[in-house]
Amino acid sequence: MLRTLNPLLHSELRLAIMSILLGVESADFTFLREQTGSTAGNLSVQLDKLASAGYIAVEKSFRGKMPCTTCSLTAEGRVAMNEYVETLKQYLKL
């Protein structure tokens, strides 16, 4: 029987966010919105879900006078992504 795919990661936008974060130390809200092509609302919601799960850390600060939301992977998030990728490979025989 096939393993199950972590449903928190098996969502296009959340997977995109996590994939981007895998490759950088951190990324801010605007960057993630541009890279994923998502709306701000959708991005906000999905970042919340990933943060609630402990998969990403979200830090709110100011860059000059403008608010800035910076996101980064947690160790837990990295583990979850590795597992997800391994499961996908099982599905797709990669």
Partner DNA sequence: AAAATTTGGTTTATATTATAAACTACTTTA
Partner DNA sequence: TAAAGTAGTTTATAATATAAACCAAATTTT
- Contacting residue, 21, 29, 55, 80, with DNA by CB under 7 A: 29
Task: Name which of 9 and 73 has its Cβ closer to DNA.
Answer: 9
Distances in Å between the Cα of 89 and the Cα atoms of 3, 64, 68, 82, 85 are 11, 44, 36, 11, 6
Could you give the angle at the alpha carbon of 86 between the alpha carbons of 25 and 26, nearest 5°?
Answer: 10
Task: Work out what residue 93 binds among DNA, a copy of itself, none; the CB cut-off runs from 5 to 8 Å by kind.
Answer: a copy of itself
Neighbouring C-beta atoms of residue 72, cutoff 10 Å:
14
Task: Name which of 12 and 48 has its Cβ closer to a copy of itself.
Answer: 12
Single-letter code of the amino acid located at 94: L
65: contact with DNA by CB under 7 A: yes
Which residues are at the interface with DNA (CB under 7 A)?
7, 10-14, 28-30, 38-49, 60, 64-69
